[in-house]
Amino acid sequence: MNYSLKCLNCGTIYDPKDVMYTCPKCGPRLGTLEIVIGEYPRYPSFDLKSKGIWAFSEFLPLDEDHHEVPLFIGNTPIYEKKSLAQKMGLSDLWIKDDGRNPTGSYKDRATAMAISKAKSLHVNTIYCASTGNAASSLAGLTAASGMKSIIFVPKTAPEAKITQLLVYGATVMAVDGTYDEAFDLSMEIGNEFGWYSRNSAINPYLLEGKKTGSMEVAVQLDFKIPDFAIVSVGDGTVVSSIYKGFKDMKMAGLTDKIPKVIGVQSEGANAVMRTFESGHFDRPIDIDAHSMADSIAVGKPRDVLKACKWVKESGGYFVSVTDEEIGKAIIELARETGVFGEPAGAAAYAGLKKIAKSIQGKSAVIFITGNGLKDVKSARNFTSQVNYVKPDPKDVKDVLRKIGLI
């Protein structure tokens, strides 16, 4: 694909050969780059079933010697939930279960692009700072590709995510600090040693991988686009990518609209929402982030400019939800649909519940970005208790009677 890089802040266009990560004039925070497609494919076809995300190759900035991670990524299921939609007053509702990717989150879509680029550059070590999922994704996909990964996570990351890193053989630095501190530390070390960066927003190719999520929805829904697309927001890359995927589909003449994109943040980590509502997208408002939804516990979002600009362009907005609402959403989503999301995944459902009254009669797709098994401890705080019984039928019947099941 023929493409260039455009600075979101100052508008300068770069040749991909000249710039690797961000706009040299605007710096790493505001100078995030957008991949601008030179020419849209005329008659694309999408073989999701056998290719996964690579069904969108013609829309991706791949090099001639492009490397495909030998794991199946994408083509995750989408479920239509008519009766749940009805209950909420919506005309239709779809659940996109991206926890079904190889390492259990949406991040695999982006990591595949980072690996492709690193291979082209003949760099064998990739690093990232992550709240957890970008890290487990990088660890898993580099392992499959015979590469090395160096990973910086806050030491508070959920155990399943840290275990995933170690199982895949990553070198793990559990930073005694926040994600935001881990991020700055990783950049300093990664730059010094010339490793390839899989850091959100810094690397413009990640978003291109992520946009396959919404392109997939378009194909799966036979190019009939819902009114709203709802997803949780930390750094702001995923929400931006959802917009870009739908936009690329429209630009290629395959669809006729872009949904209003709704970004859902945790109340204790709503930095992107605050910046959006201030109206000054180039003056990010940073905060101290706290949230049970570790994947979106970001106080210094790296893709804030893009997220604000593109959500606004879509006609969407941001909402925030409490940890309590997220916890309840994990349980309700699982019981209504059978999809078990991690806190940041179920946050999209919590966001939908919050705005449902104001979008009556409309259709929506929500992206469940991470698998619930990644953080069972948080979910457990919102479940009912286990019934402990002796190996005796009488004991079992006593319990069943007590809870009114017999």
- For CA atoms 194, 172, 339, 379, the dihedral sign is negative
Q: Smaller CB distance to ligand PLP: residue 110 or 249?
A: 110
Q: Rule CB under 5 A: which of 19-38 touch Zn ion?
A: 23, 25-26, 31
Residue 344's binding partner among Zn ion, ligand PLP, none (Cβ under 5 to 8 angstroms by kind) is ligand PLP
Within 121-257, residue ranges assigned H as helices are 133-145, 159-167, 179-193, 204-210, 212-220, 237-251
| Whole-number Cα distances in Å, 233 to 57, 272, 332 | 26, 8, 20
Which one among 76, 111, 133, 291 touches ligand PLP, defined by CB under 6 A? Answer: 133
Which one among 238, 329, 339, 352 touches ligand PLP, defined by CB under 6 A? Answer: 238
Which one among 129, 150, 344, 352 touches ligand PLP, defined by CB under 6 A? Answer: 344
Q: Smaller CB distance to ligand PLP: residue 9 or 101?
A: 101
Which one among 75, 76, 103, 105 touches ligand PLP, defined by CB under 6 A? Answer: 105
In 8-104, DSSP assigns E strands to: 13-14, 33-37, 78-80, 92-97
Contact 131, 235 (CB under 8 A): no
Tokens representing 345 are 């995944």
> By three-state DSSP, how is residue 281 classified?
coil
Contact 194, 201 (CB under 8 A): no
Within 52-178, residue ranges assigned H as helices are 82-88, 108-120, 133-145, 159-167
For residue 284, state whether it binds ligand PLP (rule: CB under 6 A). no
Q: Smaller CB distance to ligand PLP: residue 119 or 309?
A: 309
d(CA 96, CA 78): 4
Among all chains, which residue has been given the structure tokens 């056998």? 50
d(CA 96, CA 234): 19
Residues 192-231, one symbol each (x = binds ligand PLP by CB under 6 A, - = not), give --------x-------------------------------
For residue 372, state whether it binds ligand PLP (rule: CB under 6 A). no
Residue 149's binding partner among ligand PLP, Zn ion, none (Cβ under 5 to 8 angstroms by kind) is none
For residue 7, state whether it binds Zn ion (rule: CB under 5 A). yes
CB of 34 to Zn ion, least distance (A): 11
Q: Rule CB under 6 A: which of 29-88 touch ligand PLP?
A: none
Which one among 117, 370, 372, 382 touches ligand PLP, defined by CB under 6 A? Answer: 370
Tokens representing 245 are 């995927």
Q: Smaller CB distance to ligand PLP: residue 133 or 149?
A: 133
Binding site for ligand PLP (CB under 6 A): 105-107, 133, 200, 232-239, 295-296, 342, 344-345, 369-370
